[in-house]
Amino acid sequence: FMKHGVEIFTPWSWQPGMWEVLHLFSRYNRSTSVRAVSDDETRVSAYATLDPHSGNTTIVLVNRELTASTATSVSLANLAIPDGIYATLQLANLPASETFVSHTSNAKAAGTVTVAGNQFSITLPALSITSVLLQKSPDGPPPAPGPSRLANVSVRAFSGAGDDVLIVGFYVDGIGSKELLLRGIGPMLAKYNVSSTMADPVMSLWSQSTGLITSNDDWGSNAAQITKASARLGAFALDPGTLDSALVANLSTGGYTAHIAGKAGGTGVALGEAYDGDLWGTARLVNVSARTWVGPGDNSLIAGFVVVGESSKTLLIRAVGPTLADPLYNVQGVLTNPVLRLYRLGDNAPLYQNDNWGTTSYSDEIAATAQLSGAFSLAPGTTDAVLLLTLPPGGYTAVVSSADNTTGVALVEVYEVQQ
């Protein structure tokens, strides 16, 4: 199902045990399929999945033997799993009647395996399915999957001077505080073949209610904390001595902006990133936005985001240009005709795209959703671009460029739609 994008499975009739099996796979498997090889596929199969965000891995072991249990050894290649005791959930010896009632009332039996040196052994009962839940922290219970949410948002664009400085906005909602790793990348982008990068970015973090919170010039001033946080959250490593900027902040509910400006008035392409330090905490990121000058090629405005969780997430994605010229916002030199394209991470062809939002068949729904999500309204007939989509877990990029090869200031927004 995962490999082929199946979202709804409706057989004509359910046999005893099918609910149990489907629940075991759908609740505890992760978002990314991982290659798994068995020495004897006719007897024992392995199906591995990984959450690239947290590193948590689930390995499903199926014993096809009709009457005999099977002693099985599993080697973990290219997975950083610490030694320790990990939880298992197993279906075996099911009766002829249906046993599944709910997540807490079912036939799954809990157990454990011990991982040592990236290996573990387990005896699989006849005709059984066993999920091995490899957490980033051993000796703990399996995490309860939370509702899907936004994580690891980023924006790449040309950052100029004055009103053209790259400003990344985000909103924290929920209860308590949210730990975020914030990075303003310039020099490191050259390593990824991006031209005209900002030589020395300075990042300042602002609260919409209280003003300037903190700032950072060179990330090396707090290298130990940034290196540890980057490794834990899956952010690419920063080379020692580079002039990129980064900081870790604990933020309460509210709106914030990260300004990424060149030192001494410098300009260039920069990347602003916000990594969620506690994905399943009570506080969460609910939207991200960025406003800057948009040009051709590497100067396009690119917003990246990751949807994590066990289900799809509805998002409102907007590329706003003409509406910014309204006297209410009074932005000069706007991008007059933005086009918005959404890509799945790693794909070259867009999944969806929009030029003028008012021409879509569901423009009324877009307007209603914007109001419910707290987004400012777009006047009918404007050439701003909007997508309203329900996306499965994974990484995506929203690219804003000009439909008529002009340049100007644009705003990209990604809103989490509450349902």
Contact call for residues 399 and 335 (beta carbons, < 8 A): no
Q: What is the pLDDT of residues 131-175, one digit of tens each?
A: 998 876 544 444 445 568 888 889 998 888 877 789 999 999 888
Count of C-beta atoms within a 10 Å radius of residue 198: 28
Per-residue confidence at 347, pLDDT binned at 50, 70, 90?
confident
Q: What is the pTM of this model?
A: 0.65
Q: What is the pLDDT of residues 108-137, one digit of tens each?
A: 888 889 999 999 999 999 999 999 988 765
List, in sequence order, the alpha helices (H) in 162-287: 223-233
Q: How much is the mean pLDDT over the chain?
A: 87
225 in helix, strand or coil?
helix
Count of C-beta atoms within a 10 Å radius of residue 410: 30
Q: What is the pLDDT of residues 245-285, one digit of tens each?
A: 999 999 999 999 999 999 989 999 999 999 988 776 778 88
Per-residue confidence at 393, pLDDT binned at 50, 70, 90?
confident
Contact call for residues 145 and 58 (beta carbons, < 8 A): no
Per-residue confidence at 2, pLDDT binned at 50, 70, 90?
low
Give the span between the Cα atoms of 295 and 261, in whole angstroms.
Answer: 18
Instruction: Return the higher-pLDDT residue of 63 and 103.
Output: 63
